[in-house]
Each structure stands twice: as structure tokens, then as C-alpha cells.
Amino acid sequence: MELSVNYLGLIPLFPLMGAVIIGLLHVFTCNRTRLPEKVYGILACIGPILSFILALRVWVALKALPPESRFLTHDVFTWISVGEFNVSMGFLADPLACLFLLFVTFIGTLIHIYSIGYMSGDVNYGKFFAYMNLFLGSMLVLVLGDGPLVMFVGWEGVGLCSYLLISFYSEDRANVVAGNKAFIVNRIGDLGFVLGMAFLFWGIGSGGFDYLSLSVNADNLAPGIALAVCLLFFIGATGKSAQIPLYVWLPDAMAGPTPVSALIHAATMVTAGVYMVARFSFLYAGVELAGSVIAWVGILTALLAAIFAMYQDDIKKILAYSTVSQLGYMFAGVGVAAYSAGIFHVFTHAFFKALLFLGAGSIIYALHHEQNIWKMGGLKAKMPITYVTMVIGALALAGCPPFSGFFSKDEILYCAFATGHYGIWLVGIVVAAMTAFYTFRMIFIVFHGQARDQEKFDHAHEPPSVMTIPLIILAVGAIFAGFFNLPGVFGGNLMVSQWLEPSLTEVHPYTSTFVEIFVVVASIAAFAVGLKLAWSKYGQGATKPEFSGFSRFAYNKFYVDEAFDRVLVQPYRALGATIWKNIEPNVTDAPVKGASRLYMMLGNAFKVFQAGYVRVYAIYMVVGLSLMTLFLSQSLN
Amino acid sequence: MFEHILSVMIFLPILTGVILLMTPASQGIARITGLLVSLAILILGIDLYVHFAATGYLEFVEKLAWVPSLGISYHLGVDGINLFVLMAASLLLPMVYLVFTTREKGFYANLLIAQGAMIGAICAADMVLFYIFWEIMLLPIFFMMGLYGGPKRIPATIKITIYTIAGSLLMLAAIVYLGVSYHAQFNEWSFAISDMAKLNLSGQTAILFFFCFIIAFAIKIPLFPFHTWLPDAYTEAPTAATFVLSAIMAKIGVYGVIRFVVPVFDEQLARFAILLACSGVVGMMYCGIAAIAQKDLKRMLAFSSASHMGIIALGVFCMNMQALTGSIYQIVAHATSVGVLFLFVGLIESRTNSRSIEDLGGIAAKAPVFALFFAIALLASVGLPGTSGFIGEFLIILGAIKFNVWVGVFAGTTLIIGVCYMLYMFQRVFFEKTNPNTSTFKDLTLVEGLTFLPVILLIIIMGIYPHPFLSKITPTTALQFAGDTPVVAQTVATNALFPELTIEKK
């Protein structure tokens, strides 16, 4: 059962239109009279707000329907139709998409409002908001697109926008290189996505390439192809959602303005991979091997990123690695077929991570673009609102009950345990302790103790209210978002999981209350251990330690970037140069050159006979005539 | 007049060009004349497009007996296969006259002749007629390169000329072979392309002449390893000629394969398709990787163009409807994107006197409109969804996977290879800091902006709403695969890795 409505397409269209209008205004005015910032700020917020209102309307409309028929569709036009390959530019809103819609537009709007303050004074104010709108619009296409190909439009769209925004301060080469890296690494993942789509289509796509047709036909997919499709799609997800081995772009993506980081890390882009796996739960549910691969890649990514996060100096990099680590949890969740748990962590993470990034943005703003935590300290006196809200975000991230992150993380760990993935659970618990440690390491160094840079400290101040109000709203979300999906042991009824049920193919694992309580206690203990360690090491002020041995190795992120550079980037460039300098002239073009040389040689050889002396030609004539006579006399006989 | 719309589109520019060459017209008059004629062709082209009914068969047919004793006729027509090549040839040329305003009289006259000859080759439905236009279209390029090209133009001109003429001679032999075979099998003379599909060709001789055709077209496309003339020619030719070569003439090579080889030599193609497909994929990767080592903007685009042509050719050799349709779509998508990029390089060169990637930088800050247009064309060229480049590329990869999984997988790497050099180039030319070369870089003038705007919009429209365009192509490509011979089906079945992917033949 599905209901056709005619407003779904408008949801991505509003921000996209905003992007076009703001972009054109900026392009045509930026080198002449500059428009006032207010114009851009207001224009930029209209699109996201309208989309949010429509998202609410979608939610109301879905709620009015009986759960099993909660599908709204909107086919705008036939997009591509070639033989049996038929795809329409269609949109689908089901409970899963609706959940994403709500938090993407809500948090997206808050980040836009915050940016009005954060970006003020920037020369490319208009350009920034054009990209932001484009980013949000692409994300909404990704979420709403009915079928993998329409999703891919948004998928690549957010990739492009991240490139544009990461290299936003484009005068500095390092920023542009970081942008290039993000785009290229994402493209590697996208190759997996494209090939997965091709396999899926030749498997079952001729019956329709939208989600509902695909899920109906999913059983007809041969097991080998199903595995290939699942793994190829997951390659796409590792690119977009920064998992091993393609996570390398995300920490570098910190080169962009801070609100962009918030948008990339919280509301858009990196959650896309998790969304995709959940979206294709009808495929993944049938391929256990793919699920195990995803779960293990996820939890190992969580571990690796948590190790890196413990040693970083840059406040944004700490948060970046924490995002990678939390994404690992989400993949662990969807990998063990606990799709709703993974999605719920996406949801709560969106609040507290947006909060933490925007809080970090406030600090960076207050300290005039200082990002090194060892230059901060004692800021809680100067920036109380930022301090309180960031502590709330930190508690949620670290998994302190009853903040939102606790419930969502616990649900994933519980599902891993209950489905018998004890190894994943154990690593998850260790990572939980590490998360608490690195999060509060950051909080203690930045806000507690003494000022480390007195001059910067003296100039620090709370940012304007256009920036603090979004922080407060997000803090409220970071506290309470977890209550939407309380499990039975806390007296809840898994509201979000129930809401998502029509969209997902999953079975919620039920075990005994004892197991539930055991998992909860283990999580709380992990949090407590991490917090205690952080307090004892950094609670009363500390100076930057000297790294040696393992910590030095971890501080340098296991030299993974250097390894990629040595193994992939340099050889690729060298190959290009070799082709151009050696292979092209000496191998590929050699036959052509050889042919012309041969031609010259033949010419030179025959030149000898054209000596130019009458006596030589006379000899030719005599010899020729004799031979002819001989031949004739022979043949006449 | 409109019964003869194709003849007008062919001979109006050719005759104008010849007259310009013979009269002592000034360069200004030559340019205005050229612009007006190309605009007239543009209007005729749009009119033709609108009235094209997508029946699947030849439309706007003109047929006159020419050498009746040998069955050679003056025979023109348009169907879903050549419609888009024709559009590329008839809609893009006005840009050249608007961008390059100060060239010589002979430059514009040759451009006119080239356009007429290309339209002739595209519309010819008779092999002899095709051959004649095919040869004529090389002449203006020869003169433009040799007279108005860069400092190392002479060797480059000689190389491209001898290379293509060698190919053409092979093709002539193959055309004669087809005519003679037709006479032998049906006891009458014909050189009509549509008649050749009836031929039953087999044996060593057929394979020999199959390769004659393939090599002729492979040189024009160019297909790896017949591409070695391209980097020098594209770099040394005046940018207008590079534009014509890359945006249109290369496409006529692909078109030739679709028109001559696919229906006539179906058996031989089925046998050697895997070889040719690999040649396309290897060429894509080889040229794409070589592009990253280039310091000259124009040469980098030359390699990029060769790389993309590999993918377009691949689509033809995959012998299924998705890939073939994708190739035809990509012909226009690539013509618009790479055409705009080459013209922009021309503008950069005229504004800064340099094409070296290392001499440039920071243009985006100085010239936002310029950068925006360039970026859109660049994104189309790397196949970003929402631009025309994605539709064709995706259809080709989709079809390639059906043809052979590994060919498809390697074809997919174009997604990565393309962005590597393009982003590097964009970084060094448009981002980073300005320098004395670019610190006074002028943005697009109003005329320039209006010149490029329609093409930029077309790139976006063809990416967002491709259906109306595709529906002009698919009736013809569907006919191509309607009567699949069993041989083709066998090749498709070589899908050893995933036998499930093999498609049942009707």
C-alpha cells in the first residue's frame, strides 16, 4: 500500500532553489557592491525552515496511516528509460525516511542560524550559504529518493558539497588538498555503489528499480549476487561514512568552517552510509556474511578512531575522530541486523555531535581561530553557556545515563550481545570507556584548570545569541532524545524502533532481564572508568605530554595517511609520469615512428638506383632487355 | 526548402566557406558571415530536432541517383543514432565565432567547410557519400592546424594527416568490399548503408575488412593504441580546431562504428567485441592516468578527452541497448562538456598568455562566473549526477557489467580516474593564491557569458531531465537489438563469474 502525494519533491527543492538563488546573487555581486549579510542569512534559512515544516507534515500524514501502509510516494517524472531499465525521479517517505527528514531539517536549520553569526564578516558569506543550502538539499534527495539511483544523486551531491565546503578557504593549498582528498576518497566508495547498483539491476531490477519493487523481488536475487551487492554497497558506505579503510578523508575535512563540520558530522553526509544499509535491510537481512563484515569493520573503526582521538591536539580533530568512532558503533549495530538501534544512534548522535561541534565553533570563534586545546584552559569562567552545553554534549557522547547517547549506544551493545556477537560487544565496551576518556580529556583541558594562553584567554567572550540559542536547543535535544526509544528494562517500549518497523526487515532480539541489566551495568561501568581516568590525568590542569613509543605512534595516527601516500598516491603520480615520459613515446608510439622510419629507409635504399648517370641507366636497359628476351624465348618453347 | 533541410545544412556552410576563400573579404566580414551561417544552421538544427518524430527509422530522407550503374546515390537521413551527433555538429559552432574574435579570414572559412563536411558525413546514408565527406572534413583541419597552429604544428599536422589518411584508405577498401559482396550476393549494385545489414558476411576476408573499418574509426575516435597522434594534435592545433576535433569529429568516429560495424559485421563484432571493449577500457585508464602528469592545460584536456572516448567506444562494443544508448547520449554530453572546457582554455590563454597549470592560480576569486561555468562543465565531464555526463556514463557502465563483469568493473574506475586529474587541475588553476599572471584576470564579458549560458544550461537540463532526449534515441537502438542474431547472445553469455547476470534472449 502506498499513497501518492504531491509535496515530497518540494522538500529537497526548497533548499536547492535557495542554493541557486543565493549562488547567483553572490556570483553576480561579489566583485561589485556586496549585498548586506542579512539578505543572505534570511534567504539561506527560508529553504531549511520550509523543508522542516513539510517534514512535519509528512510525519503527521504518516502517523494518520495504519503502520503497515505508511508509505508516501511522489513520482515527479520519468527520469531514465532505456529498454528494461526504467527509473523515475521519484520520492518515497516512509517511517525511516521521515525520521531522517525530521532531524536533518531540524538540525540543518539550527546550523544555518548559527552560521549567520559564525560566518559574519567573511568575504564569501553568500557563497557559504549557497553551498550549505545545496548540501542540505542533496542530503534530502539522498534521504527521500525512491530507489538507489535517485539516492545516488544526493549521495554524490553531498560529496560535491563537502568538497566545496572543505576547500572553502581556497587560498590555502592545504584546505584544497583536503577537499580533493574528500572527493576522491568518496569517489572510491561511489564506484562500489555504482557497481552494486548495476549488479542489483541485472539481478532483479527489471521488475522496477524503486525500493518497494526491489524489496518485493529481493528473494529472487541469486545468493552470490546478493552478497556482491551488499558488499559493494558497503564499500560505498565506508567512503561516505568514513569507515576503515576510507575514513582518512574525514579528519582532514576539518579544514572547512566549523558549522560545515557540524553539518557533515551530525545531520548529513556521514550518516548516509548507515542510512543506506538500513534502507537495504531487505537485502542485508538475508546475507549474514555481509552483516558480519559490516559489524566487524564498524567496531574496529570505532576502536581505531577512539585510539586516535585520545592523542589529538586539535579540538576539531578530537571531535572528528569521535564521529568516526561513533559511526563505527552505528555500523556495528546495523551489521548485527539491529537496524533500528543503528538508526537510533544516528538520531541521538546528530543532536550531541552538532552540539559539540557548534560549541567547539563558539570556542574557536571566541579565541580568534585557535583550535589547539593546549592553548586553551579555564574557559568555563568566560563562556558559561558554551561550557554547560558542551558538558551536556560530552556526557551524551560519553554515554552517561540518562543522556541520549547512553540509550542509543546501549541498545546497540545490547543487540550485539543478545545476538551472540560477544566479541563485538566486548570491543564496544572498551571503546565506550575510551570515549568517556577522550571526551572529558577535551572538556577538562579546554574549560578547567588555568588559562594556558593568557592573551587569548583575556579576549575570550561568549558568542552572540544567534549562536548560543542553537546550542541551548541542541543541548535540550542531547538530553532528551534518548527517551524516544527507552527499552523495556527502563520501562519504555522502544518507540523509535516501533515507528521504524514498517521500513526495516529486522527482528528485535529478546533475552532475559538479567542480560539487559548486565549490559547496562557494563556500559555504565565503562563510562565511569573512562571519566575517572580523564579526571585523574587532566582534571586539575595538565600540560601537553611528550609522546613516545605507542603514544607517539597513535599521535601520528599510526602513519596511515603517510602509508596511503606512499602506497597509492605517489605510485599513481609516478605511473602517470612514466606513461607520459616513457611508455607513450617508446612503446605505444613506437610502431608509428617505426613505420615512418622504415619508409625513410626504403626511400634511401631505392635512392641508390637513381644514380643520375646515363651509363647506369643504359646498363639497366641492357639487363632488362636481356631478361625479357630470355623469358620470352623460354615461354615460347 | 524543408524537404532539403539536410542538404542546406551541409552545403550552406561549405559554399559560404569556399566563397569566402575566393573573395578578398576582411577577417571581420568573414567572422560575421561565419557566425550568421552557423546561427542559421543552429536554427535549422533545432527545427529539425523538434520535428524529429523518433520513429526509429531514417527521417528527413533525401535520395537522388548519383552513379546509378554502381548503385551509388546521394542519400541523406537522420535517425536516433545520428540525431545527437548532428546536434553536436550543428549547435555548438556559434560559440567558436563568438569566443575567437580576432582570427584570420581563412580560419573562419575553414571552420565553415569543416562544419558542412561533418554534417555531411553524419547524415550520409550511402557509404560512398559518407567516405567523400569523411575525407573532406580532414582538409579544413589540416589547413587550420598547419597555418594557424602552435609552434610545433608542422610535425603534429603531418602526423594526424598521414595517420587518418592511412585509416581512410583501409575504410575505402572495406567499402568497396561491401559493395562487391552485395553485388555478389544480390546481383545488383548498392552502397546504401541500410542494404549492407542484409549481407551475410563470414570467413577470413570478412574479418580482414571488419578490421579495416575498425582501424579507420579507431584512429578517428581515437581508440587505444591508435591515439598517439592526439596529444600533439590537440595541443598544437588552434583551440577552435581542437574544439572541432574533440567535440565533434571524434564522435563521428564512434558514430561510424555504430552505423557501419554494428549492423553489418555483427558476427565479427560479436567475436572480437571483448578485445575492442578492453581496448576502450585500457585507453580510458591509460590516458586518464597520463593526464595527471600533464603541465599544459590543453594537453591535459586532450588526454582527458581521449580517456572519455575510450568509455564511449566501450559502450558501443558492449552490444546491449543500455550501453549503446548511453554511448549515444554521452556523445552529446561529452561534446558539450569538453567543448566548453577547451574553449575556456582558449580564453584563459588569451587572458594570461599561458596554458601552463603552474603559471595559473586563484582565478575563482577573480572571475566567479568564469569559474562557475568551468566548474559545471568539469563536473559534467567527471560524470556528477545532475549533469548530462552522469546519465551516459552510468548507462555505459550498466551495460558493460551485463556484457562482462570485469570490463564493467574496470570501466567504473573512470569515476575515480577522472576526478584525480580534474580536481588537481582545478585546484592549481582556480583555487590557491593569485599570481601576476592571474591577478587581473577578467571575468566573462556579457557576450561570452551569453555564449556559454545555453550550453551550460543544456548540461544541467540533460542531467536532470534526460527522458525527452533519450526517447529520441531509444526507438532506433531498440531496433538494433530487436533482431539479435544468436551469435550476439553467445557473446553475452561469456559472463563466467556471474552466470546469473546472463540475459535470456528473446
Inside any domain, residue B460: yes
Tell me: cis bond preceding B499? Omega within 30 of 0 counts: no
Task: Give the strand pairing for A72-82 and A3-4.
Answer: parallel
Looking at the predicted structure, is the pLDDT value of residue B489 above 70? no
> In angstroms, rounded to a whole number, what is the distance separating the alpha carbons of residues B309 and A191?
19
Confidence class for position A1, pLDDT limits 50, 70, 90: low
If one compares A43 and A545, the residue with the highest pLDDT of the two is: A43
Average pLDDT value for residue range A50-64:
93
The average pLDDT across A528-544 equals 86
Residues whose CB is less than 8 angstroms from the CB of residue A477 and which lie 6 or more positions away in sequence, other chains included: A351, A352, A355, A404
Any A CB within 8 A of B386 CB = yes
| Structure confidence by residue, pLDDT tens digits, A128-164 | 999 999 999 999 999 999 999 999 999 999 999 989 9
Cβ distance B497 to B402 under 8 Å? no
Per-residue pLDDT, B495: 43
- The predicted-structure confidence for B23-79, as pLDDT tens digits, reads as follows 888 888 999 999 999 999 999 999 999 999 888 888 899 999 999 999 899 999 998
The type of residue at B417 is: I
pLDDT at B10 over 60: yes
Nearest CA-CA partner of A464 in A394, A393, A391, A385:
A385
- Window 542-581 of A: residues touching B by CB (8 A cutoff) are 572-573, 575-577, 579-581
Q: What is the pLDDT of residue B506?
A: 33
pLDDT at B505 over 60: no
**Which residue out of A82, A88, A162, A180 would a mutagenesis test of the B interface target, given it has the greatest number of B Cβ atoms within 10 Å?**
A82
pLDDT in the model for residue B405:
92
Q: How far is A19 from chain B (nearest CA, A)?
A: 13
d(CA B390, CA A432): 42
Asked if A83 lies within 8 A of B478 by C-beta distance, the reply is yes
In this predicted structure, what is the pLDDT of residue A68?
Answer: 84
Q: Is A631 on the interface with B (CB under 8 A)?
A: no
Q: CB contact, 8 Å: B398 with chain A?
A: yes
What is the Cα B421 distance to its own chain's centre?
Answer: 22
Lowest-pLDDT range of A418-427, A446-455, B352-361: A446-455
Taking residues A177-202, report their average pLDDT.
93
Domain housing B471: 272-506
Q: Within a domain: residue B43?
A: no
**What pLDDT is stored for residue A255 in this prediction?**
84
User: Which residues, including other chains, have CB under 8 Å from residue A403's CB and lie 6 or more apart?
Assistant: A352, A392, A395, A396, A478, A479, A482
For the whole model, what pTM was predicted?
A: 0.92
In a domain, residue B222? The reply is no
Task: Tell me which residue in B163, B291, B415 faces A190 most closely, judged by beta carbons.
Answer: B415
Q: Does B363 score more than 70 pLDDT?
A: yes
pLDDT attached to residue A380: 85
Q: Is there a domain that residue B405 lies in?
A: yes
Please indicate whether, in this complex, the C-beta atoms of B498 and A225 are within 8 angstroms of each other: yes
Where does the pLDDT of residue B180 fall: very low under 50, low under 70, confident under 90, or very high at 90 and above? very high
Look over chain A and give the mean of its residue pLDDT values, rounded to a whole number: 89
Residue B102 lies in a domain: no
Q: Answer yes or no: is pLDDT of B434 > 90.
A: no
Mean pLDDT across chain B: 89
Interchain proximity B501–A201, CB inside 8 Å: no
Q: Measure the CA angle with vertex B379, ends B373 and B380; round to 5°.
A: 95
Question: What would the mean pLDDT of A240-269 be, rounded to a whole number?
Answer: 86
**Which residues of chain B make contact with A31, given a CB cutoff of 8 A?**
366, 368, 443
**What are the grid coordinates assigned to B118, written together?**
561533418
Q: Quick check: B116 and B10 in contact, CB under 8 A?
A: yes
Cβ contacts (< 8 Å) between A180 and chain B: which residues? 423-424, 427
Q: Considering chain A, what percentage of its residues have pLDDT values greater than 70? A: 99
Listed in order, strand segments (DSSP E) in A377-429 are none
B176-182 long-range contacts, CB within 8 A, separation 24+ = B177/B205, B177/B209, B177/B212, B178/B127, B178/B209, B178/B264, B179/B70, B179/B71, B179/B127, B182/B71
Q: Is residue B218 part of a domain?
A: no
Residue B506 forms contact with A (CB below 8 Å)? no
Q: What is the pLDDT of residues A411-421, one digit of tens each?
A: 899 999 998 89
Position A292 pLDDT exceeds 50: yes
pLDDT of residue B503: 40
Domain assignment present for residue B103? The answer is no
**B16 occurs within a structural domain:** no
| Structural domains counted in chain B | 1
Q: How far is A209 from chain B (nearest CA, A)?
A: 13
Q: What is the pLDDT of residues B137-176, one digit of tens each?
A: 999 999 999 998 888 899 899 989 988 899 999 999 999 9
Mean pLDDT check: name the lowest of A20-24, A32-36, A612-616, B297-301.
A32-36
**A472-501, pLDDT tens digit by residue?**
999 999 998 888 888 877 777 788 888 888
Query: Dihedral of CA B265/B270/B276/B280: which sign?
Result: positive
